[in-house]
Amino acid sequence: MFNPSLITFQKVLGREVSPAFFSSEELDVLSREKFLITGAGGSIGSRIVKLLSTIPGVQFLATDRDESALHSLSLSLNTSALFDSSNFELLDIRDRPGMESCFSKYMPTVVIHAAALKHLSVLQKQPREAMLTNVFGTMDLVDLSIRSGVKNFVNISTDKAASPTSVLGISKLIAEFYVSHHRKVSNISYTSCRFGNVFNSRGSVIETFIRQMEVGAPITLTHPEITRFFMHTDEAAFLTLKSLLINKGDIHIFEMGEAVRIIDVVTKMQDILQTNSQILVTGLREGEKLNEILFENESMLIDSGNPLIKVLNFDPKIYEVLSGALRLLSVRDNELTLKLIAEF
């Protein structure tokens, strides 16, 4: 019998999940905060919320524009199906008045920003959507957080922002720049976390492969030598909170081990599920890289004090180059912004 639950991080990638541990001092710090989490219905956001819910004293508001995902998260923490908990609220980061109302009512001290559009092929076809959510939505959230006195802000980014070749990667890099720009000018603890694929997250390549194997369809692989970084959802959530506590620079880059060949992942999954689905090589998609990277220059990395996290600061000269771009972004003209992206 086909059993997708057999597909685990440990079995497919051959390594254990890194242990998660907060010191008593760290737990004390976290317990005094009021967290607002955007994109809380997603794989990473929901795991962060579940982790926070285990820490005594922590206050949190989990928000998402996807009512089904948010309801599922609510059910996982509270078996009542009434959705009557004050810890959950529908919120679209593209709705600035709605966000302003949320901030004025809840008054968070920490924002963890996990809301994003993340499918490369979709955003290549619809770059305006990437702008509205990944760029303008993030900008509004940062601006509102500063105005509301939020002292800590963590923007969850992606390895696709390193030397980006896709609309997704460029939109996330612009978001990183915007967060770091305000870290500099306002002298506040606003930072980004950059990491690769979260194993078997919703909409991930692992989920796609499982579905293709289940129905006996060909497994679509864009290139036989394509590689990607993977980490467990628990690792991503734990290290995001660790980055919040460390907060030493513009970007916190997570240790993800060696990049793995996707074809090796596929063959391992076939062995586990005992399937022999045909592998169909389709060719790299527009904007897709053969090999992702987490950073461009290892010599620029700074030790964070945690072996699983490195810190990267942008070259200060980049802000001189980007000053005009930041002014252009503030106009919120989609055509001008797309032109900017093409020139980026």
Would residue 265 count as lying in a domain? no
Residue 281, C-beta contacts closer than 8 angstroms, at least 6 positions apart:
221, 222, 223, 224
Residues 190-199: pLDDT tens digits? 999 999 999 9
Beta strands in 100-168 (DSSP E): 110-113, 152-156
Give the per-residue pLDDT at 80: 64
Would residue 248 count as lying in a domain? yes
Residues 15-71: pLDDT tens digits? 999 888 899 999 999 999 999 999 999 999 999 999 999 999 999 999 999 999 999
Give the Å distances, CA to CA, from 80 to 48, 53, 56, 85, 180. 21, 16, 21, 9, 40
Residues 106-117: pLDDT tens digits? 999 999 999 999
Q: What is the DSSP secondary structure assignment for residue 300, as one 8-state letter?
A: G
Would residue 128 count as lying in a domain? yes
Beta strands in 180-299 (DSSP E): 189-194, 197-198, 219-221, 227-228, 230-231, 251-254, 260-261, 279-281
Q: Which residues of the chain have pLDDT under 50?
A: none
Q: What is the CATH number of the domain that holds 78?
A: 3.40.50.720
Domain with 138 in it: 24-197+231-257+295-343
Would residue 104 count as lying in a domain? yes
Would residue 276 count as lying in a domain? no
Element (H, E) at 36: strand 34-38
Ramachandran angles phi, psi of 279, nearest 5° = -100, 120
Question: How many residues appear in the chain?
Answer: 344
Would residue 208 count as lying in a domain? no
Residue 289 annotated to the active site: no
Ramachandran angles phi, psi of 274, nearest 5° = 55, 50
Token pair 């639950």 is found at 5
- CA–CA–CA angle 117, 67, 151 (5° rounding): 65
Q: Which two tokens stand for residue 205?
A: 């390549």
Give the per-residue pLDDT at 193: 98
Of 50, 105, 160, 172, the active-site residue reads 160
Domain count, the chain: 1
